[in-house]
């Protein structure tokens, strides 16, 4: 287990060094997040629907599509000089490779979310100070689930044409359960309802994480082996 995690961290660290050195995908994702929030900000009628009702959906739609950018780049950087082939020839276990990509994607998406959340508060004037800790917990719980599935699918589509489009098409149906859970819990938190009202959805998010992290760790080898 120690070796498995050490190798996963080696892969994740390499991905993060590459990303923070080039910053191409990170800057794109952050700019994308800001633009989407801006468009939603000016594209809604605050007199028709109260902001507090609309805000959770906007937050999660923004995070979901920004995460797609991260997931797309995860294996694209392995196509450079066929590095993926080198990884598969090496003694690196497929599980370590998956976990390495998962860790790097989680860090990447967390950075985007860390920039996106204050922008969301700024644009929509939604007070989150009193629920910041549980809100961050929900964001972490939901993000783990959809990044776990997305990392698996990004490996699946990477050798196909139109990989970026295909990833969105096959991934979005799988994101419905965590999105429903995340939106519902976020809405209750922002509405000042107690966390105990959201236990069912929190269990859904936790179950989704456990099932899909385990399943994706097992299935990953079948997506990368020829």
Q: Which of 123, 139, 125, 127 is nearest to 40 (CA)?
A: 123
In whole angstroms, the minimum distance from the beta carbon of 180 to another protein comes to 38
In whole angstroms, the minimum distance from the beta carbon of 7 to another protein comes to 7
DSSP assignment string, 84-132? HHHHHHSS--HHHHHHHHHHHHHHHHHHHHHHHHHHHHHHHT---GGGH
C-beta of 7 vs 105, nearer to another protein? 7
Do 131 and 105 contact (CB within 8 A), yes or no?
Answer: no
In whole angstroms, the minimum distance from the beta carbon of 12 to another protein comes to 12
C-beta of 40 vs 75, nearer to another protein? 75
Residue 34: Cβ within 10 Å count: 16
C-beta of 45 vs 80, nearer to another protein? 80
| Binding site residues, another protein, CB under 8 A | 7, 10-11, 14, 17-18, 21-22, 77, 80-83, 85-92, 225-226
C-beta of 64 vs 154, nearer to another protein? 154
In whole angstroms, the minimum distance from the beta carbon of 84 to another protein comes to 9
In whole angstroms, the minimum distance from the beta carbon of 10 to another protein comes to 5
Alpha carbons 121 and 144: distance in angstroms, whole number: 22
Q: Which of 176, 171, 181, 180 is nearest to 150 (CA)?
A: 171
C-beta of 17 vs 199, nearer to another protein? 17
User: Residues near 111 by Cβ (< 8 Å), separated by ≥ 6?
Assistant: 26, 30
């Amino acid at each position: 287990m120690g070796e498995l995690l050490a190798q996963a961290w080696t892969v994740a660290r390499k991905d993060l060094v590459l990303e923070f050195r080039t910053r191409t995908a990170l800057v794109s994702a952050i700019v994308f997040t800001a633009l989407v929030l801006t468009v939603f900000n000016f594209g809604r009628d605050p007199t028709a629907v109260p902001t507090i009702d609309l805000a959770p959906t906007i937050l999660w739609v923004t995070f979901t599509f920004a995460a797609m950018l991260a997931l797309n780049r995860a294996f694209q950087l392995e196509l450079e000089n066929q590095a993926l082939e080198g990884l598969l020839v090496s003694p690196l276990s497929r599980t370590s490779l998956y976990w390495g990509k998962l860790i790097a994607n989680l860090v990447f998406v967390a950075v985007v979310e860390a920039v996106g959340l204050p922008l969301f508060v700024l644009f929509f004037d939604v007070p989150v100070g009193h629920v910041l800790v549980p809100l961050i917990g929900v964001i972490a719980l939901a993000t783990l689930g959809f990044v776990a599935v997305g990392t698996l699918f990004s490996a699946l589509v990477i050798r196909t044409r139109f990989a970026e489009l295909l990833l969105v098409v096959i991934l979005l149906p799988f994101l419905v359960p965590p999105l429903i859970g995340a939106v519902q819990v976020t809405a209750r938190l922002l509405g000042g309802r107690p966390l105990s009202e959201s236990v069912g959805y929190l269990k859904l998010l936790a179950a989704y994480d456990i099932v899909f992290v385990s399943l994706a760790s097992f299935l990953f080898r079948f997506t990368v082996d020829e």
